[in-house]
């Protein structure tokens, strides 16, 4: 378990990175922005990295936003290879442009799939209630329906 505490007037703030596909949509996207604000209020240097430019929310000036376009790598033939390669691109970008984060939070499926191949330290995968809904669907309708989704 990682416990983050309020930082007291640090000249060199520790970095927290939140990764998500885009900032357009429902609860997960809003949650990322809320978490980012919370980490900022605790005294951390917060960065949100997204894979698409879409934004449906007002962005907080206290947070630094980054975009790496996952679609630029669609020519890589399989998703698993694409996510593996993109994770290496993401790692290089983060270390060069942001620095080493003390915590990286992967939010939603694409971020999870990419960051499972990442070498960044302290990656946590945020699990949302959609997983429980998929399990419920799986149990009620069987494997065939689950695979179609």
d(CA 108, CA 85): 19
> Burial level of 143, CB count in 10 A (0-12/13-18/19+)?
exposed
Domains and CATH numbers, the chain: 15-148 (3.40.50)
- Residue 35's pLDDT band, with cuts at 50, 70 and 90, is very high
**Higher-pLDDT residue of 134, 27:** 27
User: Looking at residue 105, what is its pLDDT?
Assistant: 98
Q: What is the CB-side half-sphere exposure of residue 8 using CA atoms within 13 A? A: 0
- The answer to whether residue 101 scores a pLDDT higher than 70 is yes
Q: What residues have CB less than 8 Å from 105, skipping those under 6 apart? A: 16, 17, 18, 19, 32, 35, 123, 124, 125, 126
- Residue 84's pLDDT band, with cuts at 50, 70 and 90, is very high
- The answer to whether residue 78 scores a pLDDT higher than 90 is yes
Least confident of 17-21, 39-43, 53-57, 95-99: 53-57
């Amino acid at each position: 378990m990682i416990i983050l505490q309020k930082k007291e007037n640090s000249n060199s703030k520790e970095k927290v990175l939140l990764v998500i596909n885009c900032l357009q949509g429902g609860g997960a996207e809003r949650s990322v922005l809320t978490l980012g604000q919370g980490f900022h209020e605790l005294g951390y240097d917060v960065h949100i990295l997204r894979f698409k430019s879409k934004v449906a929310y007002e962005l907080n000036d206290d947070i630094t936003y980054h975009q790496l376009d996952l679609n630029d790598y669609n020519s890589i033939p399989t998703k698993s290879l694409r996510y593996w390669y993109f994770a290496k691109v993401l790692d290089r970008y983060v270390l060069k442009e942001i620095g080493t984060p003390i915590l990286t939070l992967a939010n939603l499926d694409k971020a999870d799939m990419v960051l499972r191949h990442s070498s960044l330290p302290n990656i946590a995968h945020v699990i949302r209630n959609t997983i429980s809904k998929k399990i419920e669907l799986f149990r009620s309708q069987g494997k065939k329906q689950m695979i179609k989704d």
